[in-house]
C-alpha cells in the first residue's frame, strides 16, 4: 500500500521554487554568452520535482500540485500587489533611499508586476508544467519504466521549450527585435534543459529512494489527462 508520506514535502519544495523564481526573475544575469533571468537559479527545480511527482506518484497527483502551485503563486502576486498600493509610513526608508517616496518607488520597481508579464508567466507555467508531466507519463508507459533519464530529459526538453517560448513571445513580442526574441528563447531553453541533464544523478537518487520508502511507482495507463480535472 502506498504511503505518500513525502508528498507534502515535495509539494512544498515545488511551490516554494515557483514563487521564489517569480520574485527574483526581475534581475537579469550574465552567464557566459547568455543573458538570463536570475530565476534560472531555482525555477528548473520546479521541473525536476515535477518529474519526480509524475514518476513516483502519477500524473493526477502531479496535476493537483501544479494547480496548487498556481494558486499559491496567484495569492503571492495579489498580496504583493496590495502591499504596493498601501501608502508608506512617513518614516519608512529602505537601503540608502532618502525618503518614503523613493523607497516606495524602489519597492514598486522590484516587486511590481506588469499585467502583460504576469499573464505571460502564468500561461507559460501551466502549459510547460502540464506538457512536462504528460510527456513523462507517456514515455514511462512506452518504455515500461526503463530509462528514467530518457523521460526526465525528454519531457523537460518539450516542457521547457513551451514554457520559454510562450513566456518570451507573450511578454516581449513587439517590444524587442524578433531576432533577439529567438535568441532569448533558445538560450533559456538550452540552459534550463542543461540544468535538468546535469542533475539527472540527483533525480535518480530521489526517485529510487521515494519508490522504496513510499512503496509507490505509478503508471498512468488509466489516467484521464485533462489538465482541468482535480481528481484522479
Q: Each residue of 98-122: pLDDT tens digit?
A: 788 888 888 888 787 777 888 888 9
Would you list the domain boundaries of the chain? Answer: 7-214
Q: Is the pLDDT of residue 28 over 80?
A: no
Among the listed ranges 16-20, 127-131, 180-184, which one has the minimum average pLDDT value?
180-184
Q: How far is it, in rounded angstroms, from Cα 192 to Cα 9? A: 23
pTM of the shown model: 0.90
Q: Is the pLDDT of residue 143 over 70?
A: yes
pLDDT band at 13 (very low <50, low <70, confident <90, very high): very high
Q: Is the pLDDT of residue 209 over 60?
A: yes
DSSP state of 42: T
> 7-214, what's its fold?
Arp2/3 complex 21 kDa subunit ARPC3 (1.10.1760)
Residue spans of beta strands (DSSP E) within the chain: 28-31, 34-37
Q: Each residue of 188-201: pLDDT tens digit?
A: 888 888 888 898 99
Task: Output the pLDDT for position 2.
Answer: 61
Question: Of 15, 14, 20, 40, which is closest to residue 29 (Cα–Cα)?
Answer: 40
Amino acid at each position: 500500500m502506498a504511503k505518500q508520506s513525502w508528498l507534502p514535502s515535495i509539494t512544498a519544495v515545488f511551490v516554494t521554487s515557483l514563487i521564489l523564481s517569480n520574485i527574483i526573475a526581475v534581475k537579469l544575469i550574465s552567464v557566459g554568452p547568455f543573458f538570463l533571468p536570475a530565476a534560472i537559479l531555482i525555477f528548473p527545480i520546479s521541473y525536476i520535482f515535477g518529474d519526480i511527482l509524475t514518476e513516483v506518484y502519477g500524473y493526477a497527483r502531479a496535476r493537483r500540485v501544479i494547480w496548487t502551485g498556481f494558486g499559491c503563486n496567484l495569492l503571492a502576486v495579489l498580496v504583493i500587489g496590495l502591499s504596493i498600493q498601501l501608502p508608506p509610513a512617513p518614516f519608512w526608508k529602505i537601503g540608502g533611499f532618502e525618503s518614503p517616496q523613493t523607497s516606495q518607488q524602489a519597492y514598486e520597481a522590484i516587486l511590481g508586476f506588469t499585467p502583460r508579464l504576469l499573464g505571460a508567466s502564468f500561461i507559460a507555467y501551466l502549459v510547460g508544467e502540464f506538457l512536462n508531466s504528460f510527456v513523462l507519463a507517456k514515455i514511462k508507459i512506452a518504455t515500461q519504466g526503463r530509462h528514467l533519464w530518457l523521460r526526465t530529459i525528454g519531457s523537460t526538453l518539450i516542457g521547457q521549450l513551451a514554457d520559454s517560448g510562450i513566456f518570451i513571445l507573450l511578454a516581449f513580442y513587439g517590444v524587442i527585435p524578433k531576432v533577439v526574441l529567438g535568441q532569448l528563447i533558445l538560450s533559456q531553453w538550452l540552459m534550463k534543459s542543461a540544468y535538468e541533464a546535469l542533475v539527472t544523478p540527483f533525480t535518480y537518487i530521489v526517485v529510487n529512494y521515494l519508490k522504496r520508502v513510499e512503496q509507490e511507482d505509478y503508471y498512468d495507463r488509466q489516467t484521464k489527462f485533462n489538465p482541468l480535472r482535480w481528481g484522479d
